[in-house]
């Protein structure tokens, strides 16, 4: 799967479909880690950690810059991803401790 070798939109779309499946599988793993965090953290107040959030977003942006991916887009995506992860973790915390 090398986009530089594609000669048709069918190849592009097939490649994107594979990547999308992989991304969803990786998101499933990420959210499994959020479930573990909800189980391990001692109290609900520990779920939101702004310093860790900034670290995660900064790391993603640094990797994006290294790979030539638009940093602003990655920053926006990771902001949404981390906020969704926090909301999910809080819901899991409440579900398992409530």
Residue with tokens 């109290």: 43
Question: What SS3 class is residue 1?
Answer: coil
The whole domain housing 49 covers 3-97
At 17, phi and psi to the nearest 5?
Answer: -60, -40
What CATH number should be reported for the domain holding residue 43? 1.20.59.10
> What number of other Cβ atoms are within 10 A of residue 93's Cβ?
20
Question: What's the predicted TM-score (pTM) here?
Answer: 0.91
Predicted local confidence at residue 97, as pLDDT? 86
Q: Residue 33: what pLDDT?
A: 98
Query: How far is Cα 21 from Cα 77, in angstroms, rounded to an integer?
Result: 17
Structure tokens at 27: 């998101």
Query: Would you state the pLDDT for residue 34?
Result: 97
Angle between helix 50-67 and 71-97 (nearest 10): 140
Structural domain count of the chain? 1
Query: Mind listing the pLDDT tens digit for each residue in 23-67?
Result: 999 999 999 999 999 999 999 999 999 999 999 999 999 999 999
């Amino acid at each position: 799967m090398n986009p530089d070798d594609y000669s048709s939109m069918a190849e592009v779309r097939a490649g994107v479909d594979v990547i999308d499946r992989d991304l969803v599988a990786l998101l499933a793993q990420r959210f499994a880690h959020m479930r573990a965090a909800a189980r391990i953290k001692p109290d609900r107040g520990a779920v939101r950690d702004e310093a860790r959030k900034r670290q995660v977003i900064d790391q993603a942006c640094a990797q994006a810059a290294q790979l030539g991916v638009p940093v602003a887009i990655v920053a926006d995506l990771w902001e949404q991803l981390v906020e969704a992860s926090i909301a999910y973790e809080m819901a899991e915390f409440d579900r398992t401790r409530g």
